[in-house]
Amino acid sequence: MNKPYVRSLSKTGWFLTQPRYKRYMAREVTCLFIFAYTFLLIWGLKRLAEGPDAFQGFLNALHSPLGVLFNLAVLIAAVYHSTSWFNVTPQAMPIMRGEEFVPGNIIVGAHYAVWAVVSLIVLILGV
Amino acid sequence: MAKSNKPIFWGLFAAGGTVTAFITPALALITLFAAMRFSPDMFTYGAIHAFAAHWLGKLVIFGVILLSLWHAAHRTRVTVHDFGVRADGLVAIVVYSLAGLGTLLTLYYLLYI
Full-model pTM: 0.91
Decide if pLDDT at A3 tops 90: no
pLDDT in tens, A17-27: 899 999 999 99
Residues facing residue A96 across a β-bridge = A101
- Give residue A56's pLDDT band: very low, low, confident or very high (50, 70, 90): very high
Q: What are the start and end residues of each CATH 1.20.1300.10 domain in chain A?
A: 13-86
pLDDT at A10: 84
Q: What is the mean pLDDT of each run of 10 residues along chain B (113 residues)?
A: 74 90 95 89 87 95 95 95 92 95 97 90
Are the C-beta atoms of residues A65 and B15 closer than 8 Å to each other?
A: no
Percent of chain A that is helix, strand, coil (3-state, to 5): 75, 5, 20
From chain A, the residues in CB contact with B105 under 8 A are: 42, 45-46
B80 touches chain A (CB under 8 A): no
Domains of chain B in start order, with CATH, are 6-112 (1.20.1300.10)
B56 touches chain A (CB under 8 A): no
A121, closest residue in chain B (CA to CA): B26
CATH for the A13-86 domain, from 1.20.1250.20, 2.40.37.10, 3.20.190.10, 1.20.1300.10: 1.20.1300.10
Q: Which of A32, A88, A49, A115 is nearest to B29 (CA)?
A: A115
pLDDT at A49: 96
From chain B, the residues in CB contact with A59 under 8 A are: 34, 43
Decide if pLDDT at A110 tops 90: yes
Distances (CA, A) of B54 to B27, B49, B50, B57, B95: 19, 9, 7, 5, 30
pLDDT at A7: 73
